[in-house]
Amino acid sequence: MAKLQAIRGMNDILPQQSLSWQYLETVFQQVVRRCGYQEIRFPVLEHTELFKRSIGEVTDIVEKEMYSFDDRNGDNLSLRPEGTAGCVRAADQHGLLYNQQQRLWYAGPMFRHERPQKGRYRQFHQFGVEAFGMAGPDIDAEILQLSASLWQELDLGEYLTLEINNIGSAEDRKRYSIALSEFLQLRVDQLDEDARQRMHTNPLRVLDSKSLQVQEALQGCPQLESFVNDESRQHYQQLQALLGSAGIEFRENPRLVRGLDYYNFCVYEWTTDTLGAQGAVCGGGRYDSLVEMLGGKATLAAGFAIGVERLVLMLESLDKIPAEARQPIDIYLLAVGDNLGQQSLQLAQLLRAHYPQLGIVSHCGGGKYNSQLKRAFNSGARLAVVLERDEPGKELLGNVKIRRLDDSAESETVEITEIIPKLAEFL
């Protein structure tokens, strides 16, 4: 029978790669914890309506990318394409937003039916933070500082650039969209099909078209900047001042509009040129009207989402995973001879009790010394500890051998009672 394969664009993360993921997860959790953010978990499935109302009907995500289906009750559900909508739904449903301030984070798989390529998948993962009840721009600066700290902790700071833009209110963008649409209609010959369609449905999205021809057609187009309201402008200026004093460098990108409708005021993206075409690793901004759009009481809000796969790709290609994070097993325990099961189990537990931070594997399944040693090497452990009975039926020797699993092959045989202090010398 033919073997079944995974769905295209949905990756298995194998044990070796999981180490990179775990490293990244640990660092992320440390950074958000330090800033007082608390985890929220919400389902991967929600009513499709939630995403339509929040992300917007006329966006790539909702129009083309969602995994939606009717369940057995006939309810139309979708796999979440991003985290903010579900986070807001959950926080509001459980009364976390009413007259309160919240600093939340989440992590997990997201689903978008896109064309799979390097850094772009159909199941991918995001880390996100969302802050509620704060007007900013101090909270916006805090969130950007949090992301900058994360890059620093991961030693990726020099490879990432922050781009920011002021997109005003939904009202401002509506007026701007009309002006931009009029401008584009005069240059329709220079637009590709995508841009021609968006020119009517969501003209702002034409701004971040990847086509050079479209970018050329945009030369001299009306600028969003001249449509945004004073409050938004002030917010943006204050944010820039805060970023400056925090030593966070940024570049203003007037074409940055982001693909989701719910943003207002400042939006931003962290990008890298180390990944090829898929250069955005983190995107976010303010979304002060979203809670109300979803039926809650108006609540100030801001947040970002990070693409985990893209960060893992960066960490791996730039060789930024620390050696200790790549070491799942430290000690491999060999047991050579018959009936050593009990002693072997006991010794393994003794070692684990003394070195709870180490990974200690006890060989199972018997076999000769050489074949066990080969497994020890393959395990990636640094040390082998050999429990040996020299002849079948004889008493267990009172000695164990410690052997380095490297070219030095340094080894020493010690009394079993001395194993703990001796191991400390080898580690």
**What are the residues binding ligand ATP (CB under 6 A)?**
82, 112, 114, 119-121, 124, 126, 259, 278, 280-283, 305, 307, 309-310
Cα 121 to Cα 44, 166, 171, 199, distances in angstroms? 16, 29, 34, 27
Nearer to ligand ATP, 307 or 337 (CB): 307
Nearer to ligand ATP, 103 or 112 (CB): 112
In the complex, minimum distance from the CB of residue 125 to ligand ATP, in angstroms, rounded to a whole number: 8
In the complex, minimum distance from the CB of residue 269 to ligand ATP, in angstroms, rounded to a whole number: 7
Nearer to ligand ATP, 114 or 388 (CB): 114
In the complex, minimum distance from the CB of residue 40 to ligand ATP, in angstroms, rounded to a whole number: 18
In the complex, minimum distance from the CB of residue 124 to ligand ATP, in angstroms, rounded to a whole number: 3
In the complex, minimum distance from the CB of residue 58 to ligand ATP, in angstroms, rounded to a whole number: 15
In the complex, minimum distance from the CB of residue 402 to ligand ATP, in angstroms, rounded to a whole number: 45
Nearer to ligand ATP, 112 or 198 (CB): 112
Nearer to ligand ATP, 124 or 332 (CB): 124
| C-beta neighbour count of 85 within 10 angstroms | 24
Nearer to ligand ATP, 136 or 283 (CB): 283
Nearer to ligand ATP, 3 or 115 (CB): 115
Nearer to ligand ATP, 19 or 280 (CB): 280
In the complex, minimum distance from the CB of residue 205 to ligand ATP, in angstroms, rounded to a whole number: 11
Nearer to ligand ATP, 56 or 283 (CB): 283
Cα 307 to Cα 56, 272, 310, distances in angstroms? 21, 12, 6
Contact 407, 390 (CB under 8 A): no
Backbone φ and ψ for 210, nearest 5 degrees, come out as: -90, -5
Q: Which of 171, 184, 305, 286 is nearest to 238 (CA)?
A: 286
Tokens, residue 245:
């004093």
Nearer to ligand ATP, 264 or 379 (CB): 264
Residue nearest to ligand ATP (CB): 307
In the complex, minimum distance from the CB of residue 135 to ligand ATP, in angstroms, rounded to a whole number: 23
In the complex, minimum distance from the CB of residue 285 to ligand ATP, in angstroms, rounded to a whole number: 9
In the complex, minimum distance from the CB of residue 184 to ligand ATP, in angstroms, rounded to a whole number: 21
